[in-house]
């Protein structure tokens, strides 16, 4: 099917040529105007389009006309539309329509703005841990909904996971999905992407939702570590690693042990040892994030207490000479510059530390700044704290 950026509108995409046909550029199919090409894969091409009846922007995915489209390919193409069309969920791309015109099969779906997880990972972006877990949870939630409707995706990979500009996560491309009762499941074909396939998928066995659990686990591993779990230079080596070898251990710097345990359970070779349902993995991720948030809140309370201590120590130093703020780094609480950038601080002051759901890394940055200032303030001689001149050091005469 189309590539990983096939169903989104880049924020600043350059102009692209419209669809091509034997008679020149194709500008319309069905009731949909084709505006520009925004993605292309081995068998499919996607255009930014417009529904001319209701004026809605859409993405139109079409089978490439210049390849030999087999009945199986066409059947799979429409199976994507039928599969995803049954799934109305905030974490699954919405299918509006599908059809065929002049031998061209097409699917119409929502037009997304943002980027695929593939692009995000390729840019080397290190997301906050909380955001990583949120992405894992939303992917698990979308897959769990599909599984509850008897649909297995079978090609879960970063290219088929999309993060929108407003932070939503969408599962894309159910092109190799199957209905649990479908006779097409017994074809024995190797369908999927090798780096993220489950062992049973590699062996050409019939798969169930536990295969999606494994594939999601492979994506989550890469999200945490920045590396694929079973990478190798040769395809046979990749497949052997998927079947037989564990991935490189996740370090404590990459993820907390509790989160690593969730991902590694999803990557168990034997399906019986994995999460049996995606909803179970979602429950484990939810429990982890709840515990993480409670611990982060405790750190925030400690930071608030440290803020109050520092404010009292500064006040105890007495009035400062005019211009002291420029010359004295401890003329005010050191975390103020960090906090002023945050919502509600001007209104609620440091109390905001106890109510705003900060990322833990930010709270730890604030606390480290406050702790360093606290040490400096306590390290000053008492006379300096009270505004009196400091006593002479030993061995030094005073006037």
For the annotated catalytic residues, the residue numbers are 155
CB 241 within 8 A of CB 232: yes
Residues near 6 by Cβ (< 8 Å), separated by ≥ 6? Answer: 38, 39, 40, 41, 44, 45, 46, 59, 61, 172, 173
The span from the CA of 141 to the CA of 285, in Å, is: 11
Q: Where are the alpha helices (DSSP H) in 230-277?
A: 235-244, 257-266
CA–CA dist 217, 133 (Å, integer): 12
Tell which residue, 64, 4, 80, has the closest CA to residue 38.
4
Q: Give per-residue burial for 65-77: e unless 16+ CB within 10 Å, then b.
A: beeebeeebeebb
- As a whole number of angstroms, the distance between CA 354 and CA 345 comes to 11
What lies within 8 Å, CB to CB, of 163 at 6+ separation is: 114, 115, 116, 117, 120, 135, 169
């Amino acid at each position: 099917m189309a590539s990983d950026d096939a169903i989104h509108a880049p924020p600043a995409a350059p102009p692209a040529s419209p669809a091509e046909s034997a008679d020149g550029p194709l500008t319309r199919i069905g009731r949909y105007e084709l505006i520009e090409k925004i993605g292309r894969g081995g068998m499919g091409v996607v255009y930014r389009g417009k529904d001319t009846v209701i004026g809605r922007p859409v993405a139109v995915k079409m089978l490439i006309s210049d390849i030999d489209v087999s009945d199986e390919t066409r059947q799979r193409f429409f199976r994507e539309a039928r599969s995803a069309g049954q799934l109305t969920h905030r974490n699954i791309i919405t299918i509006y329509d599908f059809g065929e015109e002049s031998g061209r099969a097409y699917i119409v779906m929502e037009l997304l703005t943002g980027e695929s997880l593939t692009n995000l990972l390729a840019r080397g972006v290190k997301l906050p841990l909380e955001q990583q877990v949120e992405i894992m949870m939303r992917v698990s939630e979308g897959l769990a909904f599909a599984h509850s409707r008897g649909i297995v995706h079978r090609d879960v990979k970063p290219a088929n996971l999309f993060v929108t500009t407003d932070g939503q996560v969408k599962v894309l491309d159910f092109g190799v999905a199957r209905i649990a009762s479908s006779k097409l499941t017994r074809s024995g074909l190797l369908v999927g992407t090798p780096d993220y396939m489950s062992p049973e998928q590699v062996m050409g066995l019939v798969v169930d939702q536990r295969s999606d659990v494994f594939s999601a686990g492979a994506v989550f591993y890469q999200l945490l570590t920045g590396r694929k779990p079973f990478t190798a230079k040769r395809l046979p080596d990749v497949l052997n690693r998927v079947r037989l070898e564990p991935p490189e251990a996740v370090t404590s710097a990459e993820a907390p042990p509790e989160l690593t345990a969730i991902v590694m359970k999803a990557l168990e070779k034997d399906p019986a040892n994995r999460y049996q349902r995606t909803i179970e993995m979602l429950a484990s991720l939810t429990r982890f994030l709840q515990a993480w948030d409670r611990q982060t809140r405790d750190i925030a309370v400690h930071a608030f207490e440290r803020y109050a201590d520092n404010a009292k120590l500064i006040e105890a130093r007495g009035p400062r000479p005019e211009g002291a703020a420029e010359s004295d780094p401890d003329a005010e609480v050191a975390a103020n510059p960090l906090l002023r950038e945050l919502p509600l601080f001007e209104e609620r002051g440091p109390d905001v530390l106890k109510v705003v759901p900060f990322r833990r890394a930010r709270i730890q940055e604030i606390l480290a700044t406050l702790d360093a200032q606290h040490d400096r303030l306590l390290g000053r001689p008492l006379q300096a704290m009270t505004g009196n001149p400091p006593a002479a050091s030993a061995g030094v005469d005073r006037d």
